DNA sequence: CCATCTCCCTAGCAAGTGCTTGGTAGGGTA
DNA sequence: TACCCTACCAAGCACTTGCTAGGGAGATGG
């Protein structure tokens, strides 16, 4: 049960892939064991439950992700560049940890109901504060439209960024960075031609 | 097993709610029966399987939804107004059929692997063609930016519209129509102030 | 007044679920 | 030689899953 074994890391990566592909509940411990070429009981030499596998996967991912966000905020780039950096960092996370992002997207809501995964809600709150800060700062600084419903824009942003994990292919021709730039183009300037209408 | 019974419709609505809230696999036939105040075996008087419940729910919803889309297209409003109408109709679907939309969003990918649900993939293709038509028409007509990656914008649109079902509350203060308008504001004109940058 | 139909119950089955147990092969260390 | 370690297997336990068989109470209609 030592946390440093390479075999253990391997099994965790396998579990993450299966959780992402089939969903947490639909993935059985036998599925994971089969993929690893061992019997289901043998998994319990490395982990003490299926739940603790998901826990470890999500914890590691979120710690890394929010570490990156903290660095971006600390750099104090101003609202617009901070927004761009956070979006780029999020797409980068989709590129490097697609399975973890998928699990976070698809299972967080159900898992968060359990006491053990209460940190998921905390992270959500943290994320929401981050976006609200960026947006309100931007509106105040005059770089974002002042008629924005900040709370609504936050939801759109959050969803828009993460939901890309459903179709993004890390090995495809479209790099995460390019997708991020396209997204930012739409988000910041819209898809319509011509001058913006005044007011709302 | 008659399809016209009011009790049957009631049970189907109950199942839809549970499928949406807990997910299809996590919802047991006993859960559905409990919610209806009967025993699990009694459900099989009305339906011949759990799968057929999901099938009926999704089929009915998609038939209705794509009927609306067809009407919009037939009205030939031009690219911009068509886009607006489709977005509004989609948010309206989220308002009126939140459970069905949630099931469609969360379970379609898994269900579509089964032969029985092959119409899900067909609807996806249909949906994609619809959006691509609107967007390319709009670019050609000069109402949408010509540097748009149409395929990417399509994904962006599709995901962002439907994902709102995760937070939208039909009984909340924010009406679906208002959300749609805000969303269209962001999509068409962006959140940034100032003149649009030229080119990409 | 009997027959049929609707809707539900009682009881249970076969398959599959996460997890536990006792044990073993192979290797390193003293 | 003695001991401990990692990584696994074989077997199975308690429980849950979707689903089935057979029957019964009450309303409907000829």
- Name the B residues in 171-190 with CB < 8 Å from any A CB: 174, 179, 182-183, 185-190
Q: In a 3-state reduction of DSSP, which class is residue B193?
A: coil
Residues of B in contact with A91 (CB under 8 A): none
**pLDDT, tens digit (0-9, with 9 covering 90-100), for A20-31:** 999 999 999 999
3-state helix/strand/coil string of chain A = CCCCCHHHHHHHHHHHHHHHHHCCCCCCHHHHHHHHCCCHHHHHHCCCCHHHHHHHHHHHHHHHHHHHHHHHHHCCCCHHHHHHHHHHHHHHHHHHCHHHHHHHHHHHHHHCCCHHHHHHHHHHHHHHHHHHHHHHHHHHHCCECCCCCHHHHHHHHHHHHHHHHHCCCCCCCCCHHHHHHHHHHHHHHCCECCCCCCCC
CB B190 within 8 A of CB A190: yes
CB B32 within 8 A of CB B14: yes
What percent of chain B lies above the pLDDT cut of 90? 84
By Cβ distance, the residue of B110, B142, B197 closest to A193 is: B142
How far is Cα A153 from Cα A137, in angstroms, rounded to an integer?
A: 14
CB B198 within 8 A of CB B176: no
Residues of A in contact with B134 (CB under 8 A): none
In this predicted structure, what is the pLDDT of residue A195? 55
- Whole-model pTM: value is 0.92
What phi and psi, each to the nearest 5 degrees, are found at residue A148?
Answer: -75, 140
Chain A contact present for B6, CB below 8 A? no
In this predicted structure, what is the pLDDT of residue B77? 96
* Neighbouring C-alpha atoms within 13 Å toward the C-beta of A195: 3
In this predicted structure, what is the pLDDT of residue A57? 96
* A35: Cβ contacts below 8 Å, ≥ 6 apart: A14, A17, A18
**pLDDT, tens digit (0-9, with 9 covering 90-100), for A105-161:** 999 999 999 999 999 999 999 999 999 999 999 999 999 999 999 999 999 899 889
* B87: Cβ contacts below 8 Å, ≥ 6 apart: B157, B161, B180, B183, B184, B187
Chain A contact present for B148, CB below 8 A? yes
Among A69-78, B34-43, B61-70, B83-92, the least confident range: B34-43
**pLDDT, tens digit (0-9, with 9 covering 90-100), for B22-71:** 999 999 999 999 999 998 989 999 999 999 999 999 999 999 999 999 99
Q: Is the pLDDT of residue A60 over 90?
A: yes
- Which of 3.40.50.11540, 3.50.50.60, 1.10.357.10, 1.20.1250.20 is the CATH number of A48-189? 1.10.357.10
CB B106 within 8 A of CB B22: no
**Residue A37, both tokens:** 């070429």
What residue ranges do the domains of chain A occupy?
A: 48-189
Q: Is the pLDDT of residue A16 over 50?
A: yes
**Residue A66, both tokens:** 């929010």
Residue A199's pLDDT band, with cuts at 50, 70 and 90, is very low
How far is Cα B102 from Cα B167, in angstroms, rounded to an integer?
A: 11
In this predicted structure, what is the pLDDT of residue B4? 72
Q: Is the pLDDT of residue B134 over 50?
A: yes
- CA–C1' nearest nucleotide, residue A53: C18
In this predicted structure, what is the pLDDT of residue B196? 56
In this predicted structure, what is the pLDDT of residue A198? 42
Q: Is A125 left (phi over 0), alpha (psi -120 to 50) or beta?
A: alpha
In this predicted structure, what is the pLDDT of residue A61? 97
Q: Is the pLDDT of residue A44 over 90?
A: yes
Q: Which residue of B has its CA nearest to A146?
A: B193
Q: Is the pLDDT of residue B2 over 80?
A: no
CB B188 within 8 A of CB A192: yes
Residue spans of alpha helices (H) in chain B? 6-22, 29-36, 50-74, 79-96, 98-111, 118-141, 150-163, 176-189
Chain B contact present for A81, CB below 8 A? no
**pLDDT, tens digit (0-9, with 9 covering 90-100), for A151-197:** 999 998 998 899 999 999 999 899 999 999 999 999 999 888 765 54
Query: Do A160 and B164 count as a contact with CB atoms less than 8 A apart?
Result: no
């Amino acid at each position: 049960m030592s946390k440093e074994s390479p075999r253990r890391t391997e099994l965790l990566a396998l579990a993450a892939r299966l959780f992402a592909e089939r969903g947490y509940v639909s993935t059985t411990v036998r599925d994971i064991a089969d993929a690893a070429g061992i019997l289901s009981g043998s998994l319990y030499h490395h982990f003490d439950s299926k739940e603790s596998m998901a826990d470890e996967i999500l914890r590691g991912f979120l710690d890394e992700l929010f570490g990156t966000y903290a660095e971006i905020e600390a750099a104090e780039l101003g609202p617009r560049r901070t927004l761009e950096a956070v979006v780029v960092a999020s797409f980068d996370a989709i590129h490097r940890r697609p399975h973890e992002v998928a699990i976070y997207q698809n299972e967080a809501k159900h898992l968060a109901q359990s006491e053990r995964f209460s940190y998921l809600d905390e992270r959500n709150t943290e994320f929401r504060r981050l976006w609200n800060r960026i947006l309100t700062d931007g509106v105040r600084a005059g770089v974002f439209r002042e008629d924005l419903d900040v709370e609504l824009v936050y939801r759109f942003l959050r969803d828009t960024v993460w939901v890309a994990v459903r179709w993004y292919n890390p090995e495809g021709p479209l790099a995460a960075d390019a997708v991020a730039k396209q997204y930012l183009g739409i988000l910041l300037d819209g898809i319509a031609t011509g001058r913006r209408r005044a007011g709302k």
